[in-house]
Homo-oligomer: A and B are copies of this chain.
Amino acid sequence: MSLEYAILGFLNYLPLSGYDLKKMFDISVQHFWQADQSQIYRTLAQLTEQGLVEKEVIHQEDRPDRKVYSITPSGQEQLQAWLKIMPPPKPDHSAALIQVFFCGQLSNEEILTKFESMAAMMKVVLQRYQQVPTQLEEYKSMVNSQRETFFWLLTLDLGLRSIRANLEWAESIIEMLKNGKVPAK
């Protein structure tokens, strides 16, 4: 599980509660990692058991107590070690590609509609990506390091390149459909 390491990564900057962590995910890696709130809490519990993080309960009068987690030396070791290894590439089961694979069973018009809405969606995602750097300021105030922001921008860059590759692919298929290059049988 790498949510585990993502959490350790953030806690290595500063101590945070489960609630804070959720916000951190949302302002920084939301473009490639949507963290589930309940999963964060469960993973935090698990990391505590393993001695990789430590919990400090901060009492609050009017709201539930804050439980602030800090990384332990053992947690830092684990994180460093993990950052150096290559994570086993997990095969992604792409529903979209399964649809492409079997879409010969649809009519050409239906397929054209499909790829056109795919292309349209990708353009939306592309725009969303191009607007992500707006959140940079929020993130900067949390980590305050040009080096960290640099790597953040790299993850954005890959996202952009991937979406562009996808869009070009979809557009090349639209071209083929319009020019009658798709075999009828």
Contact = CB atoms under 8 A, between A and B. Distances in A.
Q: Which of under 10, 10 to 19, 20 to 34, or 35 or more describes the interface residues of A? A: 35 or more
Contacts of A3: 93
Contacts of A151: 100-104
A134 interface: no
Contact of A83 (B80, B103, B182, B183): B103
A5 interface: yes
Interface string A114-150: 1001100100000000000000000000000111101
A157 to B, nearest CB: 6
Indicate the member of A89, A118, A147, A152 with the most B CB atoms within 10 Å.
A147
A32 B90 CA distance: 11
B9 A158 contact: no
A171 to B, nearest CB: 11
Given A32-B94, A33-B91, A105-B12, A150 B183 contact: yes
